[in-house]
Structure 1
Amino acid sequence: MADRFKARAEAYVTREWQRRGAFAWCMIPLACVFGAIAAIRRATFALGWRERVNVGVPIVVVGNVTVGGTGKTPTVIALVEALRAAGFTPGVVSRGYGGKGAEPRPVTAASSAKQVGDEPVLIARRTSAPVWVARDRVACAKALRAAHVDVDVIVSDDGLQHYRLARDVELVLFDQRLAGNGFLLPAGPLREPLSRRRDATLVNNPFERTLPPWPDTFALSLTPGDAWHVGDPSLRRPLSQFAGERVLAAAGIGAPERFFATLRAAGLAPATRALPDHYAFDDNPFADERVDTILVTEKDAVKLNAWRDARIWVVPVEATLPARLIDLVVEKLRGRSPA
């Protein structure tokens, strides 16, 4: 019951952040306070009162200026593969949402999502690149570099507002909601003003709307692959094969509707269930669901360790980065030599 209430509350706020209604205007005073605090914090680094730390290798930050999921994890995975193809040896740092422990620690494909966070585990499984997590991105990047001396570029999964970590490239992601009503938190979804400087913008838009007229803005394409069975990943089925079954699509991600839209675009008409972002899956939330098949995201699948439901199939997605964006990132990195 509590999870359903939380999901409804999140859905309500997300809807209100798309318009300038009564909720947004009531929150404007708090948004002004939030904006002032954020501006002062940025200024302390811009004026040199607080030091940005160079960890010795180039840093690429993949983040967002809005609250909620925008597709950062598949973007990080695709970027790691693109950098590897360009001749780099990338590593990844992340805060590890929900993870335990403040000290930097490595993540492997066998790591517990409860200990290090769901997204880092997924990145480690998909890329086999060195992945480290810690709340302090600077300490995390230093620890990764000390443990993997061959790493010559680090991708930061989120951390756009972690200004102490010096960076060479900033990629900002949006989804179809873009900047919503354009207000700062809590009146709107923005953590920082939309005018914030960045090297490039990626828009993850499954609804194929026109890209906004912003400089260096690219479309991010996410393509679903064959679903694999949670109990035996070697069992795979094209999504089209689920068309005649009673299907439930469930997602504990920042923007569950994007996952549902992907399945509909593949020809399915599933019942849907939005769970809170980073849902723990300590128990089976689908025990009472009368369906043949349950489709979940890869991010959710890394947390299904304590129990199994034979109806669950996992839908992977592949991010396709535009060649011009990859060229932009590689050019900036090659212009900066590791220390």
Structure 2
Amino acid sequence: MSRRTQAPRHWFEGPVPWHARLLSKVYGGAIALRMRLFGLHLLRRVRIDRPVIVVGNLIAGGSGKTPLAIVLVERLRAAGFTPGVATRGYGRDDAGKPRWVEADTDPALGGDEPVLIAYRTGAKVRADANRAAAARALVEAGCDIVVCDDGLQHYRLRRDVEIEVIDGRRRYGNGQLLPAGPLREPVERGENVDFRVLNVGSGTAEAGFGEWPMRLVADHALPLVGGRPVPLSALAGKRVHAVAGIGDPERFFDTLRGHGIAVVPHAFADHHRYVAEDLRFGSDLPVLMTEKDAVKCQAFATDRHYSVPIRAELPEAFWVALLDRVVALRGASGA
């Protein structure tokens, strides 16, 4: 009963269709023109009077940006900051309308990732297609630093720190621009960011030179309708339905398999809007899903449905380097 919109196979292997190569050249020309206009100041950039950190990636689809944004907010708060999150809120209804997103906001209105960030962090979250306007709203609401979730290509908002998140398994695919490949921008764009984070997931991918490894850790499942957490180790050797509507569902399935769980996989399109029928699989096995999926299934969840929280772990040296940079920025701005 899987309903997945898969990335084109040629993004990662096999020949690229001629029409995709042609459109890729047009797309690349449009990117170059846009950057030229920003360079000539014909397109205006907006600066706010607080530090701005952008978390993003170069490829279409998920790479682990949201788990990093969540732990980043937590670390900033522990360092004495009052962080706020600016996000587009992909796929939400009435996307042209700015909205404050809270833990109990309907994901159809706030977006699944913004609702998840609000739920996990308790930070102020502003969803707006205009991230510069979102950043200004956060500052006016009392935030002294802004984290942009998935804003690497949103050049209108000036940023002080850029963090690129790289998928450790897929990396840059065939290295070509959309639609011939998965790249939103040329690979060389990554040379200009401040920090490059490699999402090694729960696997064995190794970070290269200049990359910081990020490990995604899951150790328990939370029932959606109340009850005690269940250690994933308690599910070892048992069969479960696994639901993932994220950019790379296999990453979630592999995480569960790594705990010895027998996975019956159900991959859905990224940002899929669930209805109760989607979770009826014809058996009474437990249903484990990502947190991003769980926020959209709460209304019709049963005692068989569980969310699997993920936490991002990075080397302490990364946080020292990042926070040193941010503290210096705060001092320079006088905030």
TM bin (shorter chain): over 0.9
Partner Cα separation in structure 1 for residue 264 and residue 300 of structure 2: 22
Alpha-carbon shift at residue 244 of structure 1 (Å): 4.2
Partner Cα separation in structure 1 for residue 17 and residue 325 of structure 2: 39
Partner Cα separation in structure 2 for residue 295 and residue 116 of structure 1: 23
Match of 1:54 in 2: 47
Partner Cα separation in structure 2 for residue 289 and residue 212 of structure 1: 45
Match of 1:200 in 2: 195
- Percent of counterpart pairs with the same letter? 43
1:209 to 2:209 alignment? no
Match of 1:242 in 2: 235
Partner Cα separation in structure 2 for residue 122 and residue 190 of structure 1: 26
Flag structure 1 segments of 5+ consecutive residues without an equivalent. Answer: none
- Which residue identity lines up with residue 205 of structure 1 in the other structure? V
Alpha-carbon shift at residue 86 of structure 1 (Å): 1.7
Match of 1:109 in 2: 103
2:307 is aligned, of 314, 329, 335, to: 314
Flag structure 2 segments of 5+ consecutive residues without an equivalent. Answer: none
Task: Spell out structure 1 runs of 4+ moving beyond 4 A.
Answer: none
CA RMSD of aligned residues (A): 1.7
Match of 1:265 in 2: 258
Instruction: Indicate conservation of the 8 Å contact 1:78/1:321, yes or no.
Output: no
Q: 1:202 to 1:39 in 2, by over 3 A?
A: same
Instruction: Indicate conservation of the 8 Å contact 2:239/2:261, yes or no.
Output: no
Instruction: Indicate conservation of the 8 Å contact 2:237/2:260, yes or no.
Output: no
Q: Secondary structure at the match of 1:272?
A: strand
Match of 2:27 in 1: 34
Instruction: Indicate conservation of the 8 Å contact 2:224/2:298, yes or no.
Output: no
Return 126-135 or 44-53, whichever deviates more.
Answer: 44-53
- Which residue identity lines up with residue 35 of structure 1 in the other structure? G
Partner Cα separation in structure 2 for residue 169 and residue 25 of structure 1: 38
**TM-score, normalised on structure 1?**
0.92
1:94 to 2:87 alignment? yes
2:125 is aligned, of 124, 131, 141, to: 131
Q: Secondary structure at the match of 2:253?
A: helix
Q: 1:24 to 1:172 in 2, by over 3 A?
A: farther
- Which residue identity lines up with residue 115 of structure 2 in the other structure? V
| Count of residue correspondences | 327
Q: Secondary structure at the match of 1:220?
A: strand
Match of 2:171 in 1: 178
1:22 to 2:15 alignment? yes
1:168 to 2:160 alignment? yes
Instruction: Indicate conservation of the 8 Å contact 1:59/1:169, yes or no.
Output: yes
Q: 1:62 to 1:24 in 2, by over 3 A?
A: farther
Return 271-280 or 199-208, whichever deviates more.
Answer: 199-208
- Which residue identity lines up with residue 153 of structure 2 in the other structure? Q
Alpha-carbon shift at residue 332 of structure 1 (Å): 2.1
Q: Secondary structure at the match of 1:80?
A: helix
Instruction: Indicate conservation of the 8 Å contact 1:52/1:164, yes or no.
Output: yes
Alpha-carbon shift at residue 275 of structure 1 (Å): 0.6
Alpha-carbon shift at residue 335 of structure 1 (Å): 2.5
Deviations 1:41-84 (A, max 9, x none): 11211222222101211100000010111111110000011111
**TM-score, normalised on structure 2?**
0.93
Match of 1:70 in 2: 63
Deviations 1:260-302 (A, max 9, x none): 1111111112111111111101333121332411110000000
Alpha-carbon shift at residue 109 of structure 1 (Å): 1.0
1:280 to 2:264 alignment? no
Q: Secondary structure at the match of 1:306?
A: helix
